[in-house]
Amino acid sequence: MPPRLPCSSRRPQLLLNSLEQASASSLAPSAALIPLHRPTATSSSSACPTSSTPRCFSTTPARSETKMRREFKEWLKRNEAMLRRPPGETGSAAKPGGTYLGSDGAYHPFPNNSYFVSQPVLSERAHHWIWYQVMVRGQPLKAVSAQHGVDVRRVAAVVRLMEIEKRWEKENKPMATPYARALKNMLPTADLAPGEGPFEPINDIHVHSYTMQQLFVPTSESRQFTRADAAKAFGEHILPPDARMRIPELVDYERDLAKGVDPKVARDKFVKATAESERALAAKLRAAEKEAEERRIRVQTDRFEFRIEQINSEEVGPKGRARNAVGWRYGVPHMDRRRGEHKIPTSVGM
Amino acid sequence: MRQRRLLRFHGLKRPRVRQTWNKYNLYNLYRMKTPFFNPKTFFQQKWIAKGLARGYHGEHIKEYQWERMFSRRLLSAVNMDPAYMARYDGSEQAAGRGSGLQVAPGTKASDVPRNKGNLDARTPYMQMVFAPMERRLDIAIFRAMFASSARQARQFVLHGAVTVNGKRMRHPSYLLNPGDLFQVDVERVLTATGQPKRPNQGGNKSPSSTPQEDIAEEEESEPSASASPESTSERKPSDAAKEAHRKALLDLKERAKRFMWAKNDALRAKQKKAIRKILRDIKVALSRNTGNQEEFDAAEAELTSLIDNLTLSPAELRAKRDEEQRKKSELDEARLEKHKADPTLLTPTQHKLLAHLAASEAENPHDPSKPYATPWRPRDWMAPFAFIPRYLEVNHRICAAVYLRHPVARPGLAEVPTPFSPILSQLAFTWYLKRR
């Protein structure tokens, strides 16, 4: 709050100011035109320059910008070199590989949340290497995943995306190369070089909500109470972690190592086992597809392909309200005919 | 009650952190602190926390929609080390009186059975409150850095620039399933993440002078008739004529102003100067308010000629540009021949450098037809917002990403990008539990 003058002493002073002004520049005829009750902007700082009304209580000129805004601008100026332009461009003092608000170079984009970390992404070289291992050398996905510590799902996704990229290159489609290059400088990256550690945990299992409770299970001290027993104690249908491993072949590999098998032999065995499991999975999927195709009758017309399937309308579940049951059932409304109810797809087929 | 749209989206006075790459947002993020909750009642604490959290997480989503999405089951994962699994069956943890045997002092750390691969920290479950939001297509697009805000990502979906598994998806609220591949139109992404087109930043100034500039130069060299401030009219115009003249002048002034306003981006400095001069002359004429018809005619003629010259037909413009290009290529050929005669002109490294420059130019060319500043550069204040959460795998060259799995919490890490502290997130979580 600017200092204020008491009202009683205000008017005479203003008058005095403007009179002084007039006498000082008495040579100029325009000065006479200035009304006595309204001091001009050129008058001394004790007068109120911005106000157009005769009643002005403040002796200091009003600020053109608020304190908050000023501080904001100052902050921007202070951090311009580090944050404004991405690293690698002119006028940027930031190092490539992530500059964030979090203190002392930590990869925390949010200063208040230290639990969220900007983790490295796979570099373009790593993308190409994974694609080469899978598509050219024909390595099983699980083997590539175990070799570099990259999640199997990520390996599959990288291959999928690289295939699209290769297709675009062949079609000469325009790609966002400058954008990708700029982001490479902004993000921390992992090259999957031999010296680097694993990229991410590859054998993570979801924590089942049944296992989040604390149980007291009385057993004898001599009993071998294993992971399988613990799973059974939490619930009949709860599987032990051994059955939920994403790459169970890795456990066998480690078991071989513990037994003293030559690492190279164990490794070959592991690769063979993963290839075999992937082949088995593919065969299973193909068999399911074939079975579904056999149940289906396709009728090709000019415009549509009709696919007709045999449906048993009796299969409506124990309460008659099973989700995939078809046909009109007593007491079950057709939700698709209500006004204003639009259906958002829950999945998009490949 | 104040309407939501009346509140400032990025304010300094009542700051809210938003899902955008705005510089105001960056400042608000930097100075955000968890509110001082001590004097507040529990209900007030939850209310404030929920308000702040929802201002960031899907503020464009209606509250009832979010309430239906909310789930009290927070996902977490633990890494199981295969080496540990192969060597121990877990019974060592239950040995003795049920909590494992005591480790003898002096035992090596490598001899103690331990499941490795997890951080030695608590699992921050409370940072996972808004995990269901991250499944939404629009928010996933923002997280993959294809849009500069969640609202822009939503607009991309609505405008049909996004495909999921190769099929056009127009629902921003589509919940991605693990394995879904979404793809955004490359041009949209470049527009969203690139420098905006601004006339004064020099982003789109062509290196060579355009035909328009030449015209302006000619315009400058011409002696302008309206500039002469002579008022040698013999006959005294009537009041009505004076009024009509004044009106016409005003109209002319308005036209010139409107022209300048509309063409502000395209005009060059010299052209702007010429128009400003006309405006000044009109002002002088208006202030004198003499019904001088000659003066008015001259000003109008000048303005018309200026506008005509500026609005060349596209064909004419193209012809001019082609001619210039031809001249340039002729010059280049001459240079090439010169170089052949005297090969010491360019060294091989210089040649390489030139080739590299040419390649980068071909990759990121100057193209005024684009809606963003070319050559493409990332927008300001973007770098501190740059991160890709681990549940996505993104290929930025083709602007496509795969939603690998749902975000999970791990010991010491939470994958949901939230700017709030665990205390605030926990209060927000408590708000959304059914019985509060």
Tokens coding B112: 């103690």
Q: How far is B96 from chain A (nearest CA, A)?
A: 6
What's the gap in Å between the CA of A270 and the closest CA on chain B?
13
Q: Residue B421 and residue B47: Cα distance in Å, rounded? A: 16
What's the mean pLDDT in B166-173? Answer: 96
Q: In this prediction, what percent of chain A has a pLDDT beyond 90?
A: 61
Of the listed ranges A43-52, B143-152, B228-237, the one predicted with least confidence: B228-237
Q: In this prediction, does ipTM exceed 0.85?
A: no
End-of-domain residue from the set A46, A62, A78? A62
* Interface contact A187-B75, CB threshold 8 A: no
* H/E stretch holding B417: none
Percent of chain B predicted with pLDDT > 70 = 75
Q: B145 near A183, Cβ under 8 Å?
A: yes
Pairwise CA distance, residues B94 & A226, whole Å: 8
Q: Is A19 on the interface with B (CB under 8 A)?
A: no
Q: Count the alpha carbons within 13 Å of A3 in the hemisphere toward its beta carbon.
A: 5
Question: Cβ(B345)–Cβ(B335) under 8 Å?
Answer: no
CA atoms within 13 A on the CB side of B204: 18
Q: Which amino acid is at B375?
A: P
Regarding predicted confidence, which is higher, B392 or B268?
B392
Q: Residues with Cβ < 8 Å from A219, sequence gap 6 or more?
A: A225, B94
Predicted local distance difference test score (pLDDT) of residue A192: 92
- List the structure tokens of B433: 């539990």
For residues B302 and B278, the answer to whether their CB atoms sit within 8 Å is: yes
Asked if residue A157 lies in contact with residue A258, where contact means CB atoms within 8 angstroms, the answer is no
Helix (H, G, I), strand (E, B) or coil at A176: coil
Is the minimum CB–CB distance between B10 and chain A shorter than 8 Å?
A: no
Q: What is the C-alpha separation between A201 and A125, in angstroms, rounded?
A: 21
Which of B146, B395, B404, B416 best probes binding to A when mutated, by most A CB atoms within 10 angstroms? Answer: B395
Q: Is the peptide bond before B375 cis (omega within 30 degrees of 0)?
A: yes
Percent helix, percent strand, percent coil in chain A, to nearest 5: 45, 5, 50
pLDDT given for residue B296 in this prediction: 60
A76 close contact with B: CB closer than 8 A: yes
**Residue B268, helix vs strand vs coil:** coil
Q: Which of B53-57, B62-66, B344-348 has the lowest mean pLDDT?
A: B344-348
- Number of structural domains, chain A? 3
Tell me what percent of the residues of chain B surpass a pLDDT of 90: 50
Task: Report the amino acid identity of residue B270.
Answer: K
Q: CA-CA distances (angstroms) from residue B423 to A80, A240, B177, B345? A: 31, 33, 30, 69
Q: Are residues A279 and A220 in the same domain?
A: yes
Nearest to A176 among B78, B189, B383 (CB): B189
Res A288 pLDDT > 70? yes
Which of A273, A295, A317 is the last residue before a domain boundary? A295
pLDDT by residue (tens digit) across A131-184?
999 999 999 999 999 999 999 999 999 999 999 999 999 999 999 999 999 999
Q: What is the pLDDT of residue B331?
A: 73
Q: Do B338 and B345 meet the contact criterion of CB atoms below 8 Å apart? A: yes
Per-residue CA distances from B84 to A145, A256, A304, B76, B115 (Å): 19, 13, 56, 20, 6
pLDDT at position A39, please? 43
On whether residue A305 sits in a domain, the answer given is: no
Smallest CA–CA distance, residue A159 to chain B, in Å, is 11
In a domain, A33, yes or no: yes
Q: Say yes or no: B165 contacts chain A, CB-CB below 8 A.
A: yes
Cross-strand pairs, B164: B167, B182
* Cβ contacts of B285-290, under 8 Å, gap ≥ 24: B285/B226, B285/B249, B286/B246, B286/B249, B286/B250, B286/B253, B288/B231, B289/B242, B289/B246, B290/B231, B290/B233, B290/B237, B290/B242
Instruction: Tell whether B279 lies on the interface with A, counting CB pairs under 8 A.
Output: no
What's the mean pLDDT when you consider all of chain B? 81
Residue B11 or A47, more confident: B11
pLDDT digits (tens, 9 = 90+) for B383-430: 999 999 999 999 999 999 999 999 999 999 999 999 999 999 999 999
Q: Where are the alpha helices (H) located in chain A, listed in sequence order? A: 7-24, 67-79, 124-131, 141-148, 152-171, 177-186, 227-234, 248-259, 263-295
Q: Is the pLDDT score of A89 beyond 90?
A: no
Question: Can you give the pLDDT at residue A26?
Answer: 40
Task: Judge whether A304 lies within some domain.
Answer: no
Closest residue in chain A to residue B94, using alpha carbons only:
A225
Place of tokens 């008495």: A26
Q: Answer whether residue A35 shows pLDDT above 60.
A: no
| Residue with the larger pLDDT of the pair B196 and B230 | B196
Average pLDDT over residues A52-56: 61
**A125 at B interface, C-beta within 8 A:** no
Q: Are residues A186 and A215 in the same domain?
A: no
Instruction: Give the residue from B81, B87, B396 with the most A CB atoms within 10 Å of its CB, the best one to mutate.
Output: B396
Q: Please check whether residue A210 touches B, CB under 8 A.
A: no
How far is CA A304 from each of CA A175, A300, A301, A345, rounded to the nearest angstrom?
A: 35, 6, 5, 21
- A183 shares its domain with A220: no
Contact yes or no for B419 and A206 at CB 8 A: no
Contact A76 B87 (CB under 8 A): no
Average pLDDT over residues A6-29: 42
Nearest Cα of chain B lies from the Cα of A156 at a distance, in angstroms, of 9
Q: How far apart are CA B183 and CA A161, in angstroms?
A: 10
Query: How far apart (Å, rounded) are the C-alpha atoms in residues B33 and B160?
Result: 39
* A47 contacts: CB under 8 Å, gap ≥ 6: A14, A17, A18, A39, A59
Residue A236 within a domain: yes
The answer, for B47 touching chain A at a CB cutoff of 8 Å, is no
Q: Is residue A106 part of a domain?
A: no
Within a domain: A8: yes
Tell me which residue range forms the domain holding A262: 209-295
Q: Which of A52-66, B87-101, B219-233 has the lowest mean pLDDT?
A: B219-233
Interface of A with B in 239-298 (CB under 8 A): 241-242, 245, 247, 250-255, 257-258
Q: CA angle A155-A157-A161, nearest 5°? A: 120
Predicted confidence (pLDDT) at residue A91 exceeds the cutoff of 90: no
The H-or-E segment that residue A134 falls in is: none
Listing DSSP states for B101-134 in one string gives: PPPPTT--GGGS----SS-SS---GGGGTTGGGG
Using CB atoms, which residue from B77, B94, B180 is nearest to A204? B77
Q: What is the DSSP letter of B20?
A: B
Q: Which residue has the higher pLDDT, B34 or B303?
A: B34
Domain boundary among A62, A81, A110: A62
A290 and A244, same domain (yes or no):
yes
pLDDT of B218 reads 35
CA dist., res. B164 & res. B217, Å (int): 54
pLDDT score of A13: 44
Q: Which residues of A34-57 are buried (b: 16+ CB within 10 A; e: fewer)?
A: beeebbeeebeeebbeeeeeeebe
The whole-angstrom separation of Cα A162 and Cα A174 is: 15
Which of B40-44, B240-244, B327-331 holds the top average pLDDT?
B40-44
pLDDT one-digit tens code per residue, A92-132: 888 888 889 987 778 999 999 999 999 999 999 999 999 99
Out of B87, B89, B381, the one facing A258 most closely (by C-beta) is B87
- A170 in a structural domain: yes
pLDDT at B205 over 60: no
Check CB contact of B81 with chain A, cutoff 8 Å. Answer: yes
Residue A216 falls inside a structural domain = yes
Residue B263 has pLDDT above 90, yes or no: no
pLDDT at B8 over 80: yes
Average pLDDT, chain A: 84
For residue B124, give the nearest of B75, B80, B72 by alpha carbon: B75
